[in-house]
Amino acid sequence: MPPHSTMKTAALVDVQSSPDDRDIAIDRVGVRNVRYPMHVRNKDNGLQHTVGTFTLTVDLPKHYKGTHMSRFLEVLSQHNHDLGPETIPGILKRLRERLDADSAHLEVRFTFFREKAAPVTGGKGMMGYECGFSATGGAVNDFELLLTVPVTTLCPCSKEIASRGAHNQRGYVSVRVRPTALLWLEDVIDLIEACGSAPLYPLLKRPDEKFVTEQAYDNPRFVEDLVREVSAAFDNDPRVASYEIEVENHESIHDHNAYARLARAKAR
C-alpha cells in the first residue's frame, strides 16, 4: 500500500449544503453548551477572566438540509475573548457572513466575581454572580443583560406574628434587562441588592452578622415586595428600556419556594 503522502484525497461531499424538499425553514440552529475562555470588562476598566457557556445559532433557509456546525466554533475562536456590548455585534456579523444567514444569535452565561467588603469590619472576600448576555443580529438587533443575584429576605408576616424573631431565607432575583445605554453588570447587581431585606456577603465576622441580621429585620420583604422593589428601581433608571424579573425565595420553614414574576416594557 502506498504511503499516505502519495494517496489522492477524494472530494468530500458537503451534505449540509444539499437541497431539502420539505419546504420548512428553521428559526434557530447551531451549537449549545460550548465552554470557552473569555474576559468581561469591569466598571473600573479592568478585564475579568472567566469561562463562558455559549449558545450560538443562526436561521436556516428552507432549501438547505443543514448548517455547518464547525463554523460556529471557528468564529468563536477568531475573536479575542473580549465579550460585551461593543464586541458582540461583530461576532454576530461574522456568524451571518460565515453561515450565509439572515440572523444570528448568541447567548452566554458566566460567573462574574466582585470583591465585597463586610459592612462593619470591612473584611473582604470574592462574591460570584451568575451573569450573561443574550444578543441577536440581523434584520432585528437586540441585546440583553442576564443576571441572577442572591439576597436575604425576611418574612413580614413572621415578624408581625412572632414574639421572638422572624424567619428569613435566601432569595434569588433573576433578570433580563434590555438597556438603552451602557449599563454595567455592577450597577444592576447594586440595584438589586438594595431591594432585598439585606445583601449577602462572602465573609462576615460577629459584628457584621449582627448588623446584617438587624438590617434584614428592619426591612422585611415578601417575594411580592421584592419583585415590586426591583421593578420600581428599573422604572427609575433611564438606562433600562424593558425588563423581566423572576424572584424565588428558598423558604426556610416551608417545604416549597415562593415565586413571583414581573415583565415590563417602559414607554418611550
With H, G, I as helix, E, B as strand and everything else as coil, classify residue 256: coil
With vertex at residue 99, the alpha carbon angle to CA 94 and CA 100, rounded to the nearest 5 degrees, is 100
> What cell numbers appear for 59 in the block?
436561521
Reference 21, options 77, 70, 65; nearest CA is 65
Please report, for residues 29, 52, 137, 200, 212, the alpha-carbon distance to residue 207 in angstroms, rounded to integers and kept in the order given: 53, 37, 50, 15, 9
Phi, psi (rounded to 5 degrees) for 161 = -100, -20
Task: Going residue by residue through the chain, which has 268 residues, state the pLDDT in tens, using 9 for 90 and above.
Answer: 555 555 556 676 554 555 666 778 888 899 999 999 999 999 987 889 999 999 999 998 777 766 678 888 999 988 877 888 888 999 999 999 998 899 999 999 999 999 999 999 999 999 999 999 999 999 889 999 999 999 999 999 999 999 998 999 999 999 999 999 999 999 999 999 999 999 999 999 999 999 999 999 999 999 999 999 999 999 999 999 999 999 999 999 999 999 999 999 987 6
Enumerate the domain spans of the chain. Answer: 27-140, 144-268
Structural class in CATH, domain 144-268: alpha beta
Torsion, CA 204, CA 209, CA 214, CA 220, rounded to 10: 60
> What cell numbers appear for 95 in the block?
456568524
In angstroms, the CA 150 to CA 182 distance is 23
Q: Any idea which residue has 450597577 for its cell?
A: 187
8 Å CB contact between 220 and 197: yes
Phi, psi (rounded to 5 degrees) for 34 = -90, 115
Q: Do domains 27-140 and 144-268 have the same CATH topology?
A: yes
Model pLDDT, residue 17: 56
Average model confidence (pLDDT) across the chain: 90
> What cell numbers appear for 241 in the block?
428600556
Write down the CATH superfamily of domain 27-140: Urate Oxidase; (3.10.270.10)
> What cell numbers appear for 64 in the block?
438547505
